Amino acid sequence: MKPVFRRAAADQDVEGIIDYHLEKAGANVALKFVDALQAAYARTARQPAAGSPRYAHELGIPGLRTWPLQGFPYRIFYFEYADKVEVWRVLHEQRDIPTHLLEPDS
């Protein structure tokens, strides 16, 4: 199992998603989102190569993988390294994913 680290952009994505669910759907849905996110992180830590390389091929970003959150229309986007997994973004499946992945870090 590899440790999972999150980039600042991924943490900002998650904060925005939680805030949205708290406002629109309530605390129970927000907590279910957090549970689904933690399960996706755990799965990625155990089997990082299981994620889809679809966007790596589409965008020409070698090593990029993605894993869906169960029960929510979001995906984590990450890279596997020898000693860790690094989560770059957590994005809604209906967003303009290429634009968000190719944005420079703020």
Whether the per-residue pLDDT at 42 is higher than 90: the answer is yes
Sort residue 57 into left (φ over 0), alpha (ψ -120 to 50) or beta.
alpha
Distance CA 87, CA 80 (A): 9
- Residue at token pair 């605390």: 27
Tell me the domains of the chain and their CATH numbers.
4-102 (3.30.2310.20)
Whether the per-residue pLDDT at 97 is higher than 90: the answer is no
- What is the average pLDDT value for the chain, to the nearest integer? 93
Beta-bridge mates of residue 76:
67, 90
Q: Would you state the structure tokens that stand for residue 78, as one six-digit string?
A: 């990450």
Enumerate residues 6+ apart whose C-beta is below 8 A from 94. 73
Q: What pLDDT score does 106 carry? A: 41
Whether the per-residue pLDDT at 76 is higher than 60: the answer is yes
5-14, 52-61, 95-104: range with highest mean pLDDT: 5-14
Whether the per-residue pLDDT at 31 is higher than 60: the answer is yes
Tens of pLDDT, residues 9-26: 999 999 999 999 999 999
